[in-house]
Amino acid sequence: MTKSLPRDLFWILPLALSLGALLSYLQEGSWLIGWFAFSFLFLLFFFLLSYATRWANGGKTLAWMVALAFALRFIGGVTTYLALPINGYPEDEDDRAGFIYTDAHRRDAQAWDLADSDRSLFGAFNQSYAYDQYGGLLTMSAFVYRFLSPDAHRPLMLVLVSAFMAALGLPFLWKSIHKLWDVKLALSAGWIYALYPESILLGGSAMREPYLMAFSAFSLWGFVNVTARGESGRRNIFDSGLFWLAAGLVGMLFVSPVVALATLILFGGWMYFIRAGRPISWWGIGAALVVFVLGLFLLSSALNRSGEFDSSSPLHVVSDWLKLAVQWDVYQLERGSGWVQKLFDEMPEWLRLPFVMTYGLFQPVLPAALVEPTTLIWRVIGILRAAGWYAMLPVLVLSFLSAWNDKESRLWLWLNVVVWGWILFASMRGGGDQWDNPRYRTILFLWEAILAGHALVWLRKTRSVWLGRVFLMEAIFILFFSQWYANRYYHIGGQMPFAQMVIVIFALWAMVFFWGIWRDRKTAS
C-alpha cells in the first residue's frame, strides 16, 4: 500500500489545494491562512481514506462507497450552511448562522470562544460549557480552531472533520463484515451506511454522531480481530485488534460514555454466544469491567455537573436523570402540541409513555414532511430524512425473521434485541421529538446498518413476500396520516377522530398480517 502513495498524490494534492482554496473563499479571515488549513486537512483526510480503503481490500466498489460517503456528507454540510441563511427561517438564529442543529451551533460557538481565549482546552470539561454534556467533542473542536484557524471562526472546518470521521468508519465496517461473514453482507451494509439520509445529515454537521459511528466501526474491527479464529499475522497498525478496540472504546468514553457502555453490553452478549463451550478470557472480562465502571463514573459525573442529584452512587445518578429526562420530554411533547395534549387528556395515564414511544418510533413522520408548510430547504431535508427511515424501518422489522432463519440465529437475535432496545429507548428518551429521536437512534446506526444489510441479503436470497406486505402496512399508515395532516393544515377532506383512525389502521394491519399467514400456509400445503 505504501507504493501507491506517490500515485495517489497526483490526484490528492491538486484536489486538496483546489478545495482548500474554495473553502477558504467561503469563510471569513485571511484567505491564505484558511487555504493552508483547509488544504492541510483535505490532504490528510484524503490520504487516510485512500489508505484505509486499500487496506480493507474492497476494490473499486468500496472506493466508490467511501468517496460517496465523504462527498455526500461534506457537500450536504456546505450546502445547508450556505442555503439556510437564504431559505431558512429568518427569525431562527440557527438558520441565520447556517446550522441545522441547535446543539452544533452552540457547541461551535463555545469551541471558538475557548479556542480564541488563553484558557486550557481541557476547560471544555468544565460545567460552564453546558452545550457539550461530556466535553470531549468541544475539546476536539476547540483544538482544530486554535491550531488551524487562529485568526477567524471557520465553521466549515468542523463540517469537514465530521464528514471525514463518518466516512472513515466505512472501510472498518467493510473489513469486519467481510472477515466475519461474506461480501454480500458487506456490500449491503456498506451501501446503507454510506447513503442513509439521517447519517448524511449528521455527518455534515458538527455533531457527535459521526464520531461515534467511526468509533463503533473501530471497536467492531478490533473486537472481530481479537476474537476471530484463524487470524492472520499482524502486518501494520491497521491489523492490530487490541489497538482498534481500545481506540474505539476510549473515543466513545471521550465523546459519549453511554455509547461505550452500550457497546460493551453488545460485545458481552456476542462473546457469550460465540464462545459457548470454550474457555473464557478473564483478562478480557477484567478489562471490559474496568472500561464499564470508568464509563459509568464519567457518565454520572457529566450528568451531575450541576450537583442536582444528591446520590453518590453513579447508578442512582443515571437512573434519576433518566427518569427526570423522560418525564420532561413527555411534558415538552404535551405542552408543544395541542392535539397531543388533547389525546393525553382522553387516555389513561399509564398509556401515555407507550404512546410517546410509538409516536417517536415513526419520527420523522413522512406524511408531515410531505404536507406541512415550510421552506424549500427544510422540505427537502424533511422528506429525505423521513423517506430514509421509512425505507429502512420495514427491513429492520423483518430482521428478526432473517435472524431466526440464520445458522448463527442466537447471535443475530441478540443484535436485534440490543438494536431494537436502543431504538425504543431513543423513542422514549426523545419524547416524540422529530429531531432528537432520529439523532439518538442514529448513535447505534452502524449496528442498524448491519442488521438491515443482513435482512436484505436474506430477503433477496429467499425472495420473501413479507417485505412487500410490511411495506403495504407502512403505505396504509402513510395514506391515512397524509390525509390527516392535509386536513389539519389545508382543510382538505374530512378528518377522522385520531383514536378512531388509529383503530382502523391497526385493523387493516391485522388483516394484511393474518391474510399473509393464511396465504403462506395455503401455498405450503
Condensed to tens digits (0 to 9), the pLDDT of residues 192-237 reads 999 999 999 999 999 999 999 999 999 999 999 888 644 445 556 6
- What's the rounded Cα separation, in Å, for the pair 171 and 252? 19
| Cβ count near 224 (within 10 Å) | 21
Q: Would you say the C-alpha torsion 164, 383, 358, 351 has a positive or negative sign?
A: positive
- Asked if 282 and 263 count as a contact pair (C-beta separation under 8 A), the reply is no
Encode 102-117: b = buried (16+ Cβ within 10 Å), e = exposed: ebbbbbbebbbebbbe
Interior angle at CA 150, CA 144 and CA 152, nearest 5: 100
pLDDT tens figures, 245-270: 989 988 988 888 888 888 988 998 88
Q: Which has the minimum average pLDDT: 99-113, 143-157, 235-249?
A: 235-249
Q: Which helix (H) or strand (E) holds 16?
A: helix 5-26
Residue with cell 461474506: 182
Is a pLDDT exceeding 90 seen at residue 426?
Answer: no
Quickly count: other Cβ atoms within 10 Å of residue 267's Cβ: 21
Pick from 47, 43, 36: which is nearest to 16 by CA? 43
- Band (pLDDT 50/70/90 cuts) for residue 124 is low
**Average pLDDT of 490-516?**
88
CB atoms near residue 77 (< 10 Å): 26
> Which of 57, 2, 385, 412 has its CA nearest to residue 202?
385
What are the grid coordinates assigned to 204, written together?
455534515
The three-state secondary structure class of 521 is helix
Q: How far apart are CA 335 and CA 134, in angstroms?
A: 28
With 0-12 CB in 10 A as exposed, 13-18 as middle and 19+ as buried, what is 4?
exposed
265-274, 289-298, 363-372, range with the lowest pLDDT: 289-298
Phi, psi torsion values for 42, nearest 5 degrees: -60, -45
The pLDDT score that the predictor gives to residue 308 is 52
Alpha carbon separation from 185 to 180, 200, 335, 453 (Å, rounded) = 10, 21, 44, 6
Answer yes or no: are the C-beta atoms of 413 and 403 closer than 8 Å.
Answer: yes
Return the H-helix or E-strand segment holding 371.
Answer: helix 366-371
Give the whole-angstrom CA distance, residue 379 versus residue 385.
Answer: 10
Structure confidence at residue 129 (pLDDT): 55
Omega prior to 257 cis, within 30 of 0: no
Closest listed residue to residue 458, CA positions, set 447, 469, 446, 466: 466
Q: Can you tell me the mean pLDDT for 321-327?
A: 52
pLDDT at 35 over 60: yes
Q: In terms of Cα–Cα distance, which of 202, 248, 194 is closest to 442?
A: 202
> Residues near 84 by Cβ (< 8 Å), separated by ≥ 6?
94, 95, 96, 97, 98, 99, 100, 377
The DSSP output letter for 349 is G
User: Given 3-state DSSP classes, what are the helix, strand and coil percentages for the chain, each rounded to the nearest 5?
Assistant: 80, 0, 20
Contacts of 467 (CB under 8 A, 6+ apart): 394, 395, 398, 459
Closest CA to 147 of 39, 19, 33: 33
**Percent of the residues in the chain that have a pLDDT greater than 90, as a whole number:** 54
Q: Rounded distance, CA 185 to CA 403, Å?
A: 13
Using CA atoms of 350, 354, 357, 360 in order, give the dihedral in degrees to the nearest 10.
-100
**Residue 355 belongs to what H/E stretch?**
helix 352-361
Instruction: Compute the average pLDDT of residues 375-396.
Output: 96
CA-based R_g, the chain, Å: 24
Supply the mean pLDDT for the chain. 84
* Mean pLDDT within 344-367: 78
Q: Give the separation between CA 22 and CA 31, rounded to whole angstroms.
A: 10
Those residues whose C-beta lies under 8 Å from the C-beta of residue 436, and which sit 6 or more positions away, are 329, 429, 430
Alpha-carbon distances of 99 from 162, 326, 378, rounded to whole Å = 14, 26, 12
Domain boundaries, the chain: 1-194, 311-462, 464-525
User: In angstroms, what CA-CA distances link 182 with 66, 175, 177, 230, 457?
Assistant: 19, 10, 7, 16, 10
Output the pLDDT for position 321: 47
445-493 pLDDT, tens digit each: 999 999 999 999 999 999 889 999 999 999 999 999 999 888 888 888 7
Mean pLDDT, residues 404-412 taken together: 86
